[in-house]
Amino acid sequence: MSATAPVLTNLVSRGGQPNLVRIFAKEAKYEFLKSIRLPVFAVSTILLPIMFYVLFGLLLNNKSGDFPITTFLIATYGTFGVMGAALFGFGVGMTVERGQGWLELKRASPMPPYAYFAAKVSTSMIFGAIISLSLLLIGIVFGGVHLAAWQMVKMVSVLVFGCVPFCALGLAIGYFAKPNSAPAMVNLIYLPLSFCSGLWVPVQFLPKTLQHFATYLPPYHLSQLALNVVGIGQGGSQWWHVRALIGATLLFLGIARIGYSRDQGKLYG
Amino acid sequence: MSVAVRCRNLKKTYDGKVEAVAGLDLEIQVGECFGLLGPNGAGKTTTIEILEGLLLPTSGEVEIFEKKWSTHAQELRELIGISLQETRLGEKLSVRETINLFASFYQNPRQPQEVMEDMALTEKADAWVGKLSGGQKQRLAVATALVGNPKLLFLDEPTTGLDPQSRRQLWDIIRTFQQRGGTVLLTTHYMDEAEKLCDRLSIVDHGKIIASGTPGELIERTCGAQMIEFATSNGDATISREEWRKLPGVEAVHQDDGLTVLNAREPHATIPALLAAVEERGLRLDHLTTRQASLEDVFVQLTGRHLREE
């Protein structure tokens, strides 16, 4: 037996499988810390939807009619917020980390690649929770929003888990964009998608063509799911919206897969 | 002695056209510090990335501790530590957090505190990476490679851009790792670094190894022991390279930056003959120095170019 054999034997006897829980926990913790310490990310993803809510929901709201605008905007700006957290966290974050060699360094370690992605999804979910809870709190304290406890829990859950399709979209962007162009590319997708999905202006106030177009856009479906929690959705069954979001997730993952294969074509498994 | 790294007829062609590695053979023994020396674009980084399991070769075989990446990737990743060229670590994490994070990836990591002490980073433990100096960042990059308790360390130009003090600190770290039984594969285009650190090295040019051996062997074999550099002027007569070559003890002659350079195995015989030739032709000697031959001279001798040339 060669002298290198003990090296490998020792390795295998060190404990078989890597401690996946420990790896994931550390990765998720530091992913969150990295993001929250980056003012441009934390401010734009958390403060922007809150600022919009305060501006258009509280300060510029003329309270005409019966439409519960402050409740409506929690769902739509909540959707806007979780979408931003996922797109910037995944799309821009991953592109920059690829460009810096950070991702390559991790790939060269025994860390399972999915721990990296799971940590990014978790971070997006935590940001989604912070955004939706903040909007709810402000709405309740300053906007006269009245929701049952189960409605609050359900709305936050919908928004938090609703970040998944946008994480998939961010992943696809992350594999194709260059570090310098990623923020611009994300904004080019994020802002028009938000407007066309009725997140800033209720979809029924948009031109007919846009109203129809909105039904093809994932943020529309997530916002409708959140609005249905409080009974002010604008049509379509829950299942239709869920299917649309699952379909969008699969489509974005398919695109990401192409980008991944492009990268992996040169890498070992 | 057992083999830590072995590759045979390694080739890597990009887009079917650019041949970055053109049939490279290497064998690195356990416990060795082995250097890949070559100019930018010679194929060093491509070679090291293939050996690290980050890049698939177009053809050829790679074995790390007698295992192949295609079948033992997970095991091998536990055994290696890598410091890539130009890696930028997360700027918003502290030194301690970065090392803790990398330690979590391995089954049998070293204590992060101990690694920080070895890397002289303890004082900066709570500083964000973005606030570190170039040398501290590079030491942190090596710390992330060492915290997994590797048996084989890949260092791709670890001291590029560092000040002399930071370079020496990293050399000490590499020597300590080697003294503990570790194997090191180092790429560099600093000759002094290769001479000081490497037990053996290969000089790579255009994706091929053009010479291998210990630094002393390469210098002795290629250049002889001494280099005599001189410049003459003020004479109508010129002396051709062939004539200088005929001086006693001279093994080779080349021109470098306006100087004539003689590789001399017996300088005590060459220098008097050189002075006599200058006198005889009525030339003026503007410059004359003798020095030990270096790996730079080996490279110039083999390729006609300097290592740092683009």
Q: By the CB < 8 Å criterion, does A20 face chain B?
A: no
Q: By the CB < 8 Å criterion, does A39 face chain B?
A: no
Query: Three-state SS for B33?
Result: strand
Residue A212, pLDDT above cutoff 50:
yes
User: Are the C-beta atoms of B87 and B141 separated by less than 8 Å?
Assistant: yes
* CA trace torsion A161, A166, A172, A175 (10° rounding): -80
CA closest to B13 among chain A residues: A266
pLDDT of residue A52: 92
pLDDT digit string, tens, across residues A220-248: 999 999 999 988 888 788 899 999 999 99
Of A30, A108, A111, the CB nearest to B53: A108
Of the candidates B173, B180, B179, the one whose C-alpha atom is nearest the C-alpha of residue B120 is: B173
pLDDT of residue A264: 60
CA closest to B57 among chain A residues: A266
Relative orientation angle of helices B95-103 and B134-146, to the nearest 10 degrees: 20
- From A129's Cα to the closest Cα of chain B, the distance in A is 22
Of the candidates A114, A42, A51, A50, the one whose C-alpha atom is nearest the C-alpha of residue A85 is: A42
The rounded radius of gyration (Å) of the Cα atoms in chain B is 23
Of B66, B105, B106, the CB nearest to A4: B66
Per the CB < 8 Å rule, is B93 touching A33? yes
Give the position of tokens 């670890």. B158
Chain A, chain B: beta-carbon pairs less than 8 Å apart: 114
- Range 106-165 of A in CB contact (< 8 A) with B: 106-111
Query: Which one of B107, B128, B142 would you mutate to disrupt binding with A, by most A Cβ within 10 Å of its Cβ?
Result: B107
Here the tokens at position B208 are: 């091929």
Residue A11, pLDDT above cutoff 90:
no
Of A8, A15, A108, the CB nearest to B67: A8
Nearest-angstrom CA–CA distance, B198 and A42: 47
- The DSSP secondary-structure symbol of A198 reads T
The rounded radius of gyration (Å) of the Cα atoms in chain A is 21
Sheet holding B259-264, edge to edge: B250-256, B259-264, B226-233, B284-292
What are the residue boundaries of the structural domains of chain A, listed by start?
18-268
- What is the amino acid identity at position A84? G
pLDDT of residue B310: 43
Q: By the CB < 8 Å criterion, does B70 face chain A?
A: yes
Nearest-angstrom CA–CA distance, B290 and A95: 53
Per the CB < 8 Å rule, is B73 touching A111? no
ipTM for the complex?
0.78
Per the CB < 8 Å rule, is B54 touching A268? yes
Nearest-angstrom CA–CA distance, B80 and B96: 21
Nearest-angstrom CA–CA distance, B116 and B120: 6
How confident is the prediction along chain B (310 residues), in pLDDT tens digits per residue?
A: 599 999 999 999 887 778 899 999 999 999 999 999 888 888 888 999 999 998 889 999 999 999 999 999 989 999 999 988 777 788 899 999 999 999 999 989 999 999 999 888 999 999 999 999 888 898 899 999 999 999 999 998 888 878 888 888 889 999 999 999 999 999 887 888 888 899 999 998 889 999 999 988 888 887 777 889 998 886 655 678 788 888 888 888 888 878 888 888 888 889 999 999 888 888 888 899 998 888 888 888 787 776 655 4
Bridge partners, residue B63, by sequence: B6
Question: In chain B, which ranges are E strands?
Answer: 3-14, 18-29, 33-37, 59-64, 80-83, 152-156, 183-188, 200-205, 208-213, 226-233, 250-256, 259-264, 284-292
Per the CB < 8 Å rule, is B56 touching A266? yes
**Residue A269: which pLDDT band, with cuts at 50, 70 and 90?**
very low
Chain B hits for A23, CB-CB cut-off 8 Å, are 104-105
Q: By the CB < 8 Å criterion, does B309 face chain A?
A: no
Percent of chain A residues topping a pLDDT of 70? 89
User: Are the C-beta atoms of A99 and A57 separated by less than 8 Å?
Assistant: no
- Enter the pTM of the model: 0.81
Nearest-angstrom CA–CA distance, A77 and A93: 22
Give the position of tokens 């021109």. B255
Q: By the CB < 8 Å criterion, does A37 face chain B?
A: yes
Q: By the CB < 8 Å criterion, does B69 face chain A?
A: yes
Query: Which one of A12, A37, A105 would you mutate to disrupt binding with B, by most B Cβ within 10 Å of its Cβ?
Result: A105
Sheet holding B208-213, edge to edge: B80-83, B152-156, B183-188, B33-37, B200-205, B208-213
User: Are the C-beta atoms of A177 and A97 separated by less than 8 Å?
Assistant: no
Of B2, B69, B101, the CB nearest to A26: B101
pLDDT of residue B237: 57
Residue A239 CB contacts under 8 Å (≥ 6 apart), including other chains: none
Q: By the CB < 8 Å criterion, does A14 face chain B?
A: yes
CA closest to B66 among chain A residues: A4
pLDDT digit string, tens, across residues B130-181: 999 888 898 899 999 999 999 999 998 888 878 888 888 889 999 999 999 9
